[in-house]
Amino acid sequence: MLTACSTTSEGTLCKATANALSLGEHEFTISNKQDSATDIKYDATTKAGKRYQCTFSALETALNRSD
């Protein structure tokens, strides 16, 4: 499932990801989102095709590039 950063429910996740990637909120898509009790794991793919494996929690956001 691909999610563009356009819905209110994705707002915080998109803002944190955009900030970490130094991109605008509409310059990437979110896919493979998996929610758990403590964090959210997902892939962020830029319009240029770069893919990042991401983990978002209330404490931190971690991004790992996977080509």
For residue 64, the number of C-alpha atoms closer than 13 Å in the C-beta half-sphere is: 5
Q: How many CB atoms lie within 10 A of CB 11?
A: 12
3-state secondary structure of 46: strand
- The reply to whether the predicted model has a pTM over 0.75 is no
Residues 11-58 pLDDT 10s: 888 888 998 899 998 999 999 999 888 788 999 999 999 999 998 876
List C-alpha distances in Å: 49 to 46, 58, 66: 5, 27, 11
C-alpha closest to that of 13 among 39, 45, 37, 50? 39
